[in-house]
Amino acid sequence: MSADFVTHSDLSSSLHEAHTRAFKLQRLLASTRFPASMSPLIAVRIGRVISVLSRQSYMTDEGLAEVEGLSNDLQVSVEAETHYGFVCDDCHTDGGVVTSHLTAAGEVLAHAKREVDRFIAAATDARAWQRAEGW
């Protein structure tokens, strides 16, 4: 056998990671006070993702697509909460440097997006093991 052989503990650990992250993400989304500047449509998407996570249907293509949609929506919201500025100085050939700063609302959204992305990675990993095992 090669060293790359998939063992049952690998499948179990990846499934455990996905389920643990799903539980934590559900709690985070339900308890976080999202900023009022966030689109109401994202609030609807958050409700649908919480429903997907509570039914444990996130291991299906449709469930994971819903979570990925939330990640995309949060990315747009984080970008909207990012302020950019141009600082002039003598150290750069173009005369300055562009800086960016997240607002407090942007920090909340960015934290939620990081956790959503971590869950997506764990669920994708668990599903990869399932495909390798022929489920």
| Burial (0-12, 13-18, 19+ Cβ within 10 Å), 110 | middle
Determine the structural domain holding residue 92 and report its residue range: 8-133
- Nearest Cα to Cα of residue 34 among 116, 112, 120, 134: 112
pLDDT surpassing 80 at residue 4: no
Q: In this structure, is residue 40 part of a structural domain?
A: yes
Q: In this structure, is residue 2 part of a structural domain?
A: no
Task: Give me the amino acid identity at 47.
Answer: G
- The model carries a pTM of 0.81
Are residues 56 and 112 in contact, defined by beta-carbon separation less than 8 angstroms?
Answer: no
Q: In this structure, is residue 3 part of a structural domain?
A: no
> What local confidence, expressed as pLDDT, does residue 91 receive?
72
> What local confidence, expressed as pLDDT, does residue 134 receive?
61
Q: How confident is the model at residue 129 (pLDDT cuts 50, 70, 90)?
A: low
Mean pLDDT of 114-134: 83
pLDDT surpassing 70 at residue 61: yes
Q: pLDDT by residue (tens digit) across 89-123?
A: 777 666 777 788 999 999 999 999 999 999 999 99
